[in-house]
Copies of this chain bind each other. A is one copy, B any other.
Amino acid sequence: MANAMLLPVLLSFLILPFSAMALTQDFCVADLSCSDTPAGYPCKASVTAGDFAYHGLAIAGNTTNLIKAAVTPAFVAQFPGVNGLGISAARLDIAVGGVVPLHTHPAASELLFVTEGTILAGFISSGANTPYTKTLYPGDIMVFPQGLLHYQYNGGSTPAVALVAFGGPNPGLQITDFALFANNLPSPVVEKVTFLDDATVKKLKSVLGGSG
């Protein structure tokens, strides 16, 4: 068959469906300059391969802080390519003695993959308040169901690193201590809803930057 002869015919075929398909949505890279919607950000008009890759997790987070740990997110705000795809990621660095304090992700389940060191992790069920805890080594994975309280801390004598994946582009991160003590929620309210005493609440507010 003579290809040269086929080309004109074929191209007329190609042109029709391609123009017709021009608005097909294979992906929807977030246009962060627009308002968010309940299903995610409006789609950026023009994209390149760079929109689908992210390099920010290649660099260790700075763990020189009180919790000796750092969470480096690649959520939709940092990595707009995940918008609408039902997935995102973060890097977790935990120095020796460090901890990611008790927290939840309100909008997605989490899958943790240890790449270095030893991580002790656990979550607590809502019905019976049962703790589910594991010691994790490099190559191990663990899941934390959406919305349930969980924590991770370094259980070894070397720094620990993990990649964390989420089943949503914008999982959120609510650290219980920060929610209680890093704002101006009045101490009497905090005490009433937690059963903590006034001295404890005031001390933690002071440490975590809260007032009231």
Say whether A157 faces chain B, with CB atoms less than 8 Å apart: no
Most chain B Cβ neighbours within 10 Å, of A7, A88, A144, A146: A146
| Distance from A128 Cβ to chain B, minimum over Cβ atoms (Å) | 6
Task: Give the oligomeric copy count.
Answer: 6
Docked-complex contact A40 and B38, CB < 8 angstroms: yes
Q: How far is the CA of A13 from the CA of B81 in the complex (A)?
A: 26
Number of interface residues of A (CB under 8 A): 146
Contact bitstring A15-30, B, C-beta under 8 A = 1, else 0: 0111011111111100
Q: How far is the CA of A197 from the CA of B196 in the complex (A)?
A: 11
Q: How far is the CA of A43 from the CA of B44 in the complex (A)?
A: 17
Docked-complex contact B195 and A14, CB < 8 angstroms: no
Docked-complex contact A167 and B209, CB < 8 angstroms: no
Say whether A57 faces chain B, with CB atoms less than 8 Å apart: yes
Q: Across the interface, which residues of B come within 8 angstroms of A160, CB to CB?
A: none
One of B41, B52, B139, B189 near A37 (C-beta < 8 A): B41
Interface residues of A in 120-134 (CB under 8 A from B): 120, 122-134
Contact bitstring A124-157, B, C-beta under 8 A = 1, else 0: 1111111111101111111111111101010000
Q: How far is the CA of A86 from the CA of B120 in the complex (A)?
A: 23
| Distance from A42 Cβ to chain B, minimum over Cβ atoms (Å) | 4
One of B35, B66, B140 near A42 (C-beta < 8 A): B35
Q: Across the interface, which residues of B come within 8 angstroms of A109, CB to CB?
A: 85-87
Q: How far is the CA of A192 from the CA of B212 in the complex (A)?
A: 25
One of B34, B39, B147, B166 near A174 (C-beta < 8 A): B147
Chain B residue, CB-CB nearest to A31: B35
- Please give 4 more A-B residue pairs, beta carbons under 8 A apart, in addition to A12-B62, A86-B108: A39-B40, A57-B139, A85-B145, A122-B185
| Distance from A31 Cβ to chain B, minimum over Cβ atoms (Å) | 6
